[in-house]
Chains A and B, each alone.
Chain A
Amino acid sequence: GQQVMQIPQYQHVQEGEDFTTYCNSSTTLSNIQWYKQRPGGHPVFLIQLVKSGEVKKQKRLTFQFGEAKKNSSLHITATQTTDVGTYFCAGDRSGGSNYKLTFGKGTLLTVNP
């Protein structure tokens, strides 16, 4: 079945350092979504990427979707303590009536103030 691999599993940074998490799918995706889950909380939708090679920015967050639509990355510039949490990518292969997201294992980001 479809697998979505995400690395690293954990990342600890000093406040102000950059952070990147990578996501790779075994199959071509219709779109990829990114979520953030704070400790004790539930996943919150961040963004959806649909087009090959797409790049989207949200303030200090930059999301990329690979040309082959099999990989994606999330980059945070100058991390802050509020960025702490687990970042999940989730791939959708169907693009239609069989929509189903497959989540990566997530990257837990901790930030040292």
Chain B
Amino acid sequence: GAVVSQHPSWVICKSGTSVKIECRSLDFQATTMFWYRQFPKQSLMLMATSNEGSKATYEQGVEKDKFLINHASLTLSTLTVTSAHPEDSSFYICSARDRAPYEQYFGPGTRLTVT
């Protein structure tokens, strides 16, 4: 199956700083990538849909100025958590959608801890 990588796999940062997470589709081109957030023992919450070359579409309640998404190429999308606070600590997972049959492949996730 297709492979999606994510970097870094974990990061600890201080409150007020910004953190960038990269998501890459390694062996296919992904016109659409998705960013999810997952709290412990909970489901995946879609944060935004990222389309190559256009602005991301954010879900209701997700601050687009806080969670900056850039999808500059068909294989790379980035999520920047700006001015991070402890409540932003979570597991962030990206996924990329392949062409038909439209399977969605998930990256390994990034565990963010804000101190």
Q: Which residues of A contact B (CB under 8 A)?
A: 33, 35, 41-45, 48, 88, 90, 99-106, 108
Some 29 contacts from A to B, beta carbons below 8 A apart, are A33-B103, A33-B104, A35-B106, A42-B109, A43-B93, A45-B103, A45-B104, A45-B106, A48-B102, A48-B103, A88-B43, A88-B44, A90-B104, A99-B32, A99-B97, A99-B102, A100-B34, A100-B46, A100-B49, A101-B34, A101-B46, A102-B46, A103-B44, A103-B45, A103-B46, A104-B43, A105-B43, A106-B43, A108-B41
Interface class of chain A by DSSP: strand
> Please, how many residues of chain B have a CB less than 8 angstroms from a CB on the other chain?
22
Docked Cα-Cα span, A35 to B36, in Å, equals 14
Closest chain A residue, CB of each to CB of B97: A99
Q: How far is the CB of B97 from chain A (nearest CB, A)?
A: 7
Q: What is the interface of chain B, defined by CB distance below 8 A to chain A? A: 1, 32, 34, 41-46, 49, 93, 95, 97, 101-109
- The 3 tightest CB contacts between A and B, nearest first, are A105-B43, A42-B106, A43-B106
Which residues of chain A have C-beta atoms less than 8 A from B97's C-beta?
A: 99
Contact A45–B1 (Cβ < 8 Å): yes
Question: Roughly how many angstroms separate A88 CA and B97 CA in the complex, as a whole number?
Answer: 17
Closest-by-CB residue of B relative to A4 is: B43
Docked CA distance A33–B45 (Å): 16
A38 to B45, CA, bound (A): 18
